[in-house]
Amino acid sequence: MRMIFVNLPVSDVAASRAFYTSLGFSVNEQFSDDSSVSVVVSDAIFLQLLSTERFASFLPEGRQAGDPRQTSAMHALSCDSREEVDALVQKALAAGGGTWRPAEDHGYMVGGSFTDPDGHVWEVMWMDPSGTP
């Protein structure tokens, strides 16, 4: 099984921990400390949220982390139902996240989106398993 580890710079590790756990994700404490938090999205998806300073320590000399509010990287996450799409967006907004784009309903596919407190964009979607558009 392949796994994905998404490394993101954050301005406040504790606030990011609170935001992502309020969405229902757990934390792997073994890989978390004052400068980073390891968020477990699923058995195969992990977010490593690093303080801006810690994130910068992994960059080649002369490079710097971009401001997520000024860049266009979008992270997409599947959901098990259209209800889960709506619920995850509502949880994110209630936890201090922001709006990104209006929800879309194409019948066979539903999408929603939000930003985390640092401006990282998350798109959440559900597709009809029959695959019929």
- Residue 32: CB partners within 8 Å, gap ≥ 6? 17, 38
pLDDT of residue 132: 65
pLDDT of residue 88: 97
pLDDT of residue 123: 97
pLDDT of residue 79: 96
Cα angle vertex 103, ends 48, 26, to 5°? 25
pLDDT of residue 75: 95
pLDDT, tens digit, 9 for 90 and up, residues 73-105: 899 999 999 999 999 999 999 999 999 999 999
- Residue 81: CB partners within 8 Å, gap ≥ 6? 126
pLDDT of residue 73: 86
Confidence of residue 69 (pLDDT cuts 50, 70, 90): confident
DSSP character string of the chain: ---EEEEEEES-HHHHHHHHHHTT-EE-GGG-BTTEEEEESSSSEEEEEEEHHHHHTTSPTT--PPPTTTS--EEEEE-SSHHHHHHHHHHHHHTT-B--S--EE-SSEEEEEEE-TT--EEEEEEE-TT---
Q: What is the third-level CATH fold of 69-133?
A: 2,3-Dihydroxybiphenyl 1,2-Dioxygenase; domain 1 (3.10.180)
Domain boundaries, the chain: 1-59, 69-133
Pick the CATH number of 1-59 from 3.10.290.10, 3.30.465.10, 3.10.180.10, 3.40.50.880: 3.10.180.10
Mean pLDDT, to the nearest integer, of 51-69? Answer: 91
pTM of the complete model: 0.91
pLDDT, tens digit, 9 for 90 and up, residues 2-44: 999 999 999 999 999 999 999 999 999 999 999 999 999 999 9
